[in-house]
Amino acid sequence: MSIASCVASASLVLFAVACAATEQRAADARWNYEVVVRADELVLEARIPPGGALNLSVAPAARRFVREVEDERGAPLFAVDGAWRLPRSSAPRTVRWRFAAREAARSLDDVDLAAVRGNAIVASLSAFLLHDSANWGDGSFRLAVLETAPQKFVCASPDPDDLVGELASLDGPVPCAFGEIIPIPTGMDGVVIAPLMAVRLGELAGIDDWASAAMNEVETYLGRRPVRRLLLLLAPRGTHGIGSGRTLGNGAASIYVSVGTATTDVEFERDWVLTHEMIHLALPSLPPQQEWLEEGSATYLEPLLRARAGRLAENEVWRALLDEYDQGLPEADDAGLDRTRTWGRTYYGGAIFCLLADVEIRARTRNAKSLRDVFVAVLAEEGNLTRASSIERVIEIGDRATGTNVLAELYARMGNAAEPKELGSLWRDLGVALDGDKVVFDDTAPLAFVRRELILGAR
Ligand SMILES: [Zn+2]
């Protein structure tokens, strides 16, 4: 029972008593972690609710950096096969330990476990929070942080105001970073922008503008912000430009992107990477066989969203479509999008699926509906990247939202077969072509009415 529904029924005494008991149990069931952040190590404590025996451990590769595991009386816990055994108890239990963070970061150099980046250590909570993978239950945790200046700790969390999570999320990477980090002030509620390197004062506004622009593009397209809280980690890379990015939604939303330490405002303005990553936030997490839809939707929508924000000319988007999309066509040994996990088919094959879907939905509904209606409905019903969904649910919700069978038909055609064979007929139907370096349009083409609204929407 949620706190909100408890408040709503609080006028009924019996319900109020039941609510109080439920909330008490919920509080008791939560694991409370506490971390003291020091320059080279983390000093940790967990208060664990009463219950059965537990085998406490961290991500396997990080186990050897967990030290001095002991109970509340200071007695060492017995370790078997890389797990520390905590006996059953009818009372709450406390466990204390240390994590040799810098040693782990230097040795592992893996941002999914621990790695030094700039002035900070990037790590996953799963690498240093002791937990029991066989005993998640539906348990949740809260993390309290004690920072000792100049150390600062930032972490992905689903709650904009608190560091919390589901215990089950500790089965995968949940990013955090600590060290000499000075988060960048931003006007975006719930967004933490944490550069892992020193940033000059004059660059702060440029970075906030860059992140805000990308978030606004996604928010404008969908009519709402896809996540309540986002951790945006900026890792140093060379001097100029934006490097690769990665978006994670395991329990909480985070984006890790590398940024040149002398990147200019113009370079931030031209960047496409962050828009691509932020589009990922809006689609629920799909099984690996459908990574093509996750990457394809981000690849297809990124230039559209930037064009709608006035950051990219419409002709430039068409030029990119005409130039780049052949990379997504099937090669000789292709077995369809679900079964061909090459780079070209994942990014551009998936983008072709989205382009064909957008065109077909618009064609059948005379531009009344578009792929946008699919993403809006899927976000509303299935949630963002922190939730898991399936291709079947996305298709069912998307087709219902547009009143068509476009997604089901396209998936039947492309999911397990080497389709489409070519894109020439699509460009002809839309009435768009490259004449040398110039994009030319044919308004007599049968789908010219779709082409006119595809990139910028209704005008
Ligand atoms: Zn991507």
**Ligand 1 centroid from CA 297, angstroms:** 9
DSSP label at residue 239: S
Q: pLDDT band for 4, please (50, 70, 90 cuts).
A: very low
Neighbours of ion ligand 1 (CB under 5 A): 295, 298
Residue 135 has pLDDT above 50, yes or no: yes
- For residues 393 and 382, the answer to whether their CB atoms sit within 8 Å is yes
Quick check: helix, strand or coil at residue 26?
Answer: helix
**Ligand 1 centroid from CA 415, angstroms:** 20
**Ligand 1 centroid from CA 5, angstroms:** 38
The half-sphere exposure of 287 on its side-chain side, counting CA atoms within 13 A, is 9
Q: pLDDT band for 127, please (50, 70, 90 cuts).
A: very high
CA torsion sign for 98, 103, 104, 105 is positive
**Ligand 1 centroid from CA 350, angstroms:** 11
Proportion of the chain above pLDDT 70, given as a percent = 94
Residue 179 CB contacts under 8 Å (≥ 6 apart), including other chains: 39, 118, 119, 120, 121, 151, 152, 196
Residue 15 has pLDDT above 70, yes or no: no
- For residues 374 and 402, the answer to whether their CB atoms sit within 8 Å is yes
**Ligand 1 centroid from CA 320, angstroms:** 17
Structural domains for the chain? 27-172 (2.60.40.3650), 323-454 (no CATH)
What are the tokens at 401? 């939202």
**Ligand 1 centroid from CA 291, angstroms:** 9
Put residue 21 in one of left, alpha, beta given phi > 0 → left and psi -120 to 50 → alpha.
alpha
**Ligand 1 centroid from CA 273, angstroms:** 9
Q: Write out pLDDT tens, residues 77-124.
A: 989 888 999 999 999 999 999 999 999 999 999 999 999 999 999 999
| pTM: predicted TM-score of the whole model, two decimal places | 0.91
